């Protein structure tokens, strides 16, 4: 809910700044490791955006896969089954998969 | 017309958290963000910690709760400053809520703040509160597979407290399996095995914390 609130306020601020008459689409990038449930965000967004420029806007959610990098050998891999151990035996650091961002909006 | 934004949704929370962290650092206050499922023993753990430290340190507790104030009253009975935040339904605390409590604290005379986050392993992990350390409590009855279901919180935490080890003999909880999973997710995590009921293991947690606070005050 707090997340949807801040999505809406960012979107509205941006739309107003550009004198939009309506927001058509909101594109969101969500890391695989975030706990955001796409359907919940869509549901709350529809509810909270009533009577605003973003009323009726379509929320598109793209998931960013979890990736990690080895601090020792530099290898980068897509993390599957939460296996963060590199081929060389070292624990890897997350480099992607924690995103929570509005990548773009479409306005009229 | 499409407008590219790349705007972090949590940017405003993170900005407030950074301001808070600066305040806490300037005042030399060590701040714990304590997260766990409901029933894992957060309040008992806080009470144990208070009992062991209250003669040496000025402690304040911020209690996050969806609606009730039961925990805050229990803590207040132990003679420390306790501030209650009711989140009004939200499943986690955010930095703005913590900022709202600062006016009720004497920051110049506080050494340690323990924030009891809302009981939930999912959402609290996403929100920076300006804390010095994030901690998670897992209790034996919850099972050793929890980190696989909720990896984020175990990745973000610097400390894992395994509580209710007095129940190990009555369950199929496998400590080695837990440690294997958690160390894979987060090789730097510090694990303490304790029982708030029998006070087993509390000493080693307290001495770790004292050491951290001492170093923090010096820096
Ligand atoms: Zn490697």
Taking the CA atoms of B96, B102, B104 and B110 in sequence, report the sign of the dihedral they define. Answer: positive
pLDDT of residue A7: 94
| Alpha carbon distance B62, B22 (integer Å) | 18
pLDDT of residue B218: 64
| Per-residue pLDDT at B14 exceeds 90 | yes
**What is the pLDDT averaged over residues B65-77?**
79
pLDDT of residue B66: 74
User: How far, in Å, from the CA of A67 to the mean position of ligand 1?
Assistant: 14
**A105 chain-B contacts, CB cut-off 8 A:** 2-3, 5
pLDDT band at A105 (very low <50, low <70, confident <90, very high): very high
Lowest mean pLDDT, pick from A39-43, B8-12, B39-43, B127-131: A39-43
**A84 chain-B contacts, CB cut-off 8 A:** 184-185
The answer to whether the Cβ–Cβ distance between A35 and B152 falls below 8 Å is yes
pLDDT band at B216 (very low <50, low <70, confident <90, very high): confident
Q: How many beta-carbon pairs under 8 angstroms link A with B?
A: 76
**A28 chain-B contacts, CB cut-off 8 A:** 9
| Alpha carbon distance B137, B184 (integer Å) | 18
3-state secondary structure of A22: coil
Report the percentage of chain B scoring pLDDT > 90.
Answer: 82
| Per-residue pLDDT at A104 exceeds 90 | yes
pTM exceeding 0.90? yes
Q: Which residues pair with B31 in a beta bridge?
A: B113
User: How far, in Å, from the CA of B145 to the mean position of ligand 1?
Assistant: 26
DSSP state at residue A85: B
The gap from C-alpha B79 to its chain's centroid, in whole angstroms, comes to 20
Which of B150, B144, B136, B190 lies closest to B168 in space, CA to CA?
B144
* Tokens coding B145: 């597979």
The answer to whether the Cβ–Cβ distance between A108 and B7 falls below 8 Å is no
Distances (CA, A) of A101 to A23, A25, A31, A41, B11: 17, 14, 9, 13, 9
pLDDT in tens, A1-28: 678 989 999 999 999 999 999 999 999 9
| Per-residue pLDDT at B31 exceeds 80 | yes
* Tokens coding B187: 């090789």
pLDDT in tens, B189-215: 999 999 998 999 999 999 999 999 998
């Amino acid at each position: 809910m707090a997340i949807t609130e801040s999505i809406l306020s960012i979107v509205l601020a941006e739309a107003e700044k550009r004198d939009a008459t309506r927001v058509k689409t909101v594109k969101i990038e969500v890391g695989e490791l975030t706990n955001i449930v796409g359907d919940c965000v869509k549901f709350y967004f529809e509810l909270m955006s009533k009577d605003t420029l973003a009323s009726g806007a379509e929320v598109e959610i793209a998931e960013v896969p979890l990736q990690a990098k080895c601090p020792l050998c530099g290898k980068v891999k897509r993390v599957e089954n939460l296996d963060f151990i590199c081929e060389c035996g070292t624990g890897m650091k997350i480099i992607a998969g924690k995103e929570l961002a509005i990548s773009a909006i479409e306005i009229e | 017309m499409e407008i590219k934004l790349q705007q972090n949704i949590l940017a405003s929370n993170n900005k407030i958290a950074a301001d808070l962290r600066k305040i806490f650092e300037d005042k030399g206050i060590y701040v714990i963000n304590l997260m766990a499922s409901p029933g894992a023993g957060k309040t008992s753990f806080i009470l144990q910690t208070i009992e062991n430290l209250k003669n040496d340190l000025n402690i304040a507790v911020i209690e996050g709760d969806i609606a009730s104030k039961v925990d805050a009253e229990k803590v207040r009975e132990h003679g420390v400053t306790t501030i209650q935040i009711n989140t009004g339904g939200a499943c986690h605390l955010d930095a703005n809520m913590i900022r709202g409590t600062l006016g009720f604290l004497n920051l110049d005379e506080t050494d340690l703040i323990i924030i009891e986050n809302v009981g939930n392993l999912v959402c609290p992990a996403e929100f920076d509160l300006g804390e010095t350390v994030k901690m998670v409590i897992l209790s034996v009855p919850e099972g050793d597979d929890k980190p696989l279901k909720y990896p984020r919180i175990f990745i973000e935490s610097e400390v894992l407290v395994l509580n209710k080890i007095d129940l190990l003999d009555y369950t199929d909880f496998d400590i080695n399996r837990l440690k294997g999973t958690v160390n894979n997710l987060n090789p730097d995590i510090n694990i303490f095995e304790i029982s708030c009921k029998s006070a087993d293991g509390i000493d080693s947690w307290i001495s770790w914390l004292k050491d951290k606070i001492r170093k923090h005050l010096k820096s």
